[in-house]
């Protein structure tokens, strides 16, 4: 077991020394490294067992910091007004921005966001560096929404700055700004309908074979150990992940939101899958979840969790 940092200053010291440190964001815990240090960024890929073609999100303290790394069109600037928040923008890299090439996996764009979490923002300011941070879990597994899940996932080998449970619970929404088009590359904690409503601009879904895509959107992902059956009622011997006012069940069971609130369901999703998985069941049956609002991100994660594993 490594020793966890007890303050933002201690976490910043680790990062500035080129070490990894997990930290909380409003979505999920991130496995952080100084995005300008190639050795540190490489350690992220090694620790996660992440394929090298899958680029990382760069976390900034504010728009001013982001502007040193990427170019903002007027439309991109309007989206950036939604920061801090669970929204990642894929924008053209500025040449000579100081980022390690490994962060972008050779692309000429950078995925960038300003997280809405006081500890994350303090940490970026304390290091005065952009921080590369994918979700702090072994590649392909469930994302962590607490420091405990980070420790469990990496067997205590990664220091964690503990900021309590994450309030959103699913990853950020990723949007590529392509001229005057907005393309959603990953559904996430900022509901697409809300972005459209605030900006008055429509947001397209990335086609499966589109030229602009998020290379990390592998079909099997976010997977618990147990198998998953979606839109299902549990059978004997299975566990049940329910949604909405439901019947009782004799086996292991969690309810994402008894009142049918999608925000509460998103916050609980990974934590409850972790818990049911820990009970050692072979299959988790999942009730149908509405597809509107945050339901888009929840259904996306569930479909990947249920996909055949390679
Ligand atoms: O909420 C979040 O976004 C969390 C927290 C820690 O901030 N981070 C996160 O990172 O989910 P990760 O690495 O698990 O997901 C990053 C996604 C991947 O699907 C990757 O392919 C995509 O972002 N991505 C990164 N850079 C890209 C780029 N230049 N163009 C397109 N997609 C990119
Ligand atoms: Mg991830």
- DSSP, residue by residue, 117-142: -HHHHHHHHHHTS-EE--BSSSTTBP
Residue with tokens 């200053």: 9
CA of 215 to the centre of ligand 1 (A): 9
Q: Domain end: 171, 205, 239, which one?
A: 205
Ligand 1 atom at shortest distance from the alpha carbon of 30: 6
Sheet holding 239-242, edge to edge: 227-229, 283-286, 239-242, 253-255
Ligand 1 atom at shortest distance from the alpha carbon of 29: 6
61-81 residue pLDDT tens: 999 999 999 999 999 999 999
- Pair 178, 38 in one domain: yes
- Pair 179, 233 in one domain: no
Does 215 map to a domain?
no
CA of 145 to the centre of ligand 1 (A): 16
CA of 234 to the centre of ligand 1 (A): 33
Rounded Cα distance, 110 and 129, in Å: 15
Does 58 map to a domain?
yes
- Pair 22, 167 in one domain: yes
Ligand 1 atom at shortest distance from the alpha carbon of 31: 6
Which ligand gives the minimal distance to the CA of 215?
A: 1
CB atoms within 10 A of CB 292: 10
- Pair 292, 199 in one domain: no
DSSP class per residue in 150-212: HHHHTTT-S-B----S-SS-SPPEEEEEETTEEEEEE--SS-HHHHHHHHT---EEPPTT-SS
Does 114 map to a domain?
yes
**Domain that includes residue 266, residue range:** 227-306
Which ligand gives the minimal distance to the CA of 52?
A: 1
- Pair 273, 173 in one domain: no
- Give the residue, by CA position, lying nearest to ligand 1 atom 9: 134
CA of 247 to the centre of ligand 2 (A): 33
- Pair 122, 252 in one domain: no
- Pair 122, 49 in one domain: yes
CA of 214 to the centre of ligand 1 (A): 7
Does 259 map to a domain?
yes
CA of 120 to the centre of ligand 1 (A): 16
- Give the residue, by CA position, lying nearest to ligand 1 atom 10: 134
pLDDT tens per residue across all 310 residues of the chain: 899 999 999 999 999 999 999 999 999 999 999 999 999 999 999 999 998 889 999 999 999 999 999 999 999 999 999 999 999 999 999 999 999 999 999 899 999 999 999 999 999 999 999 999 999 999 999 999 999 999 999 999 999 999 999 999 999 999 999 999 999 999 999 999 999 999 999 999 887 655 556 666 667 778 899 999 999 999 999 999 999 997 789 999 999 999 999 999 999 999 999 999 999 899 999 999 999 999 999 999 999 999 887 6
- Pair 35, 114 in one domain: yes
Does 3 map to a domain?
no
- Pair 167, 99 in one domain: yes
- Pair 201, 231 in one domain: no
CA of 134 to the centre of ligand 2 (A): 6
- Pair 34, 178 in one domain: yes
Residues whose beta carbons lie less than 5 angstroms from ion ligand 2: 135
> 298: domain CATH number?
3.40.50.11030
Domain count, the chain: 2
Does 219 map to a domain?
no
- Pair 64, 140 in one domain: yes
- Give the residue, by CA position, lying nearest to ligand 1 atom 18: 216
Q: Is the distance from CB of 224 to CB of 274 less than 8 angstroms?
A: yes
Does 222 map to a domain?
no
Ligand 1, residues at Cβ distance < 6 Å: 25, 27-28, 30, 54-57, 86, 88, 90, 104, 107, 109-111, 115, 133-135, 171-172, 174, 185-186, 214-217
Q: How deeply is 216 buried, as exposed, middle or buried, from its count of CB atoms within 10 A (0-12, 13-18, 19+)?
A: buried
* 176, β-bridge pairs: 90, 183
CA atoms within 13 A on the CB side of 294: 21
Ligand 1 atom at shortest distance from the alpha carbon of 217: 19
> 30: domain CATH number?
3.90.870.10
Which ligand gives the minimal distance to the CA of 170?
A: 1
CA of 134 to the centre of ligand 1 (A): 6
């Amino acid at each position: 077991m490594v020793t966890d940092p007890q303050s933002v200053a201690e976490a910043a010291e680790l990062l500035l020394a080129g070490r990894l440190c997990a930290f909380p964001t409003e979505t999920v815990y991130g496995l952080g490294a100084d995005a300008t240090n190639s050795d540190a960024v490489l350690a992220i890929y090694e620790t996660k067992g992440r394929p090298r073609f899958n680029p990382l999100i760069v976390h900034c303290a504010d728009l001013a910091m982001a502007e040193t790394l990427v170019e903002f069109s007027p439309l991109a600037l309007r989206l950036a007004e939604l920061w801090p928040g669970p929204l990642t923008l894929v924008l053209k890299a500025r040449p000579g921005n100081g980022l390690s090439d490994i962060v972008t996996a050779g692309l000429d764009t950078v995925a960038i966001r300003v997280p809405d979490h006081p500890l994350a923002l303090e940490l970026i300011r304390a290091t005065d560096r952009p921080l590369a941070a994918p979700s702090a879990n072994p590649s392909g597994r469930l994302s962590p929404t607490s420091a405990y899940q980070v420790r469990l996932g990496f067997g205590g080998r990664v220091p964690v700055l503990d900021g309590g449970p994450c309030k959103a619970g699913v990853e950020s929404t990723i949007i590529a700004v392509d001229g005057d088009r907005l393309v959603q590359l990953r559904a996430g904690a900022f509901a697409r309908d809300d972005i459209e409503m605030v900006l008055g601009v429509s947001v397209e879904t990335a086609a499966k074979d589109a030229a602009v895509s998020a290379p990390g959107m592998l079909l099997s992902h976010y997977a618990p150990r147990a198998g998953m059956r979606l839109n299902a009622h549990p059978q004997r011997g299975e566990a049940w992940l329910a949604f909405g006012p439901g019947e009782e069940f004799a086996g292991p069971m969690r309810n994402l939101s008894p009142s049918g609130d999608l925000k509460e369901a998103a916050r609980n999703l990974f934590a409850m899958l972790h818990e049911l998985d820990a009970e050692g069941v072979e299959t988790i049956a999942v009730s149908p979840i509405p597809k509107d609002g945050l339901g888009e991100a929840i259904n996306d994660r569930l479909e990947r969790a249920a996909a055949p594993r390679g």
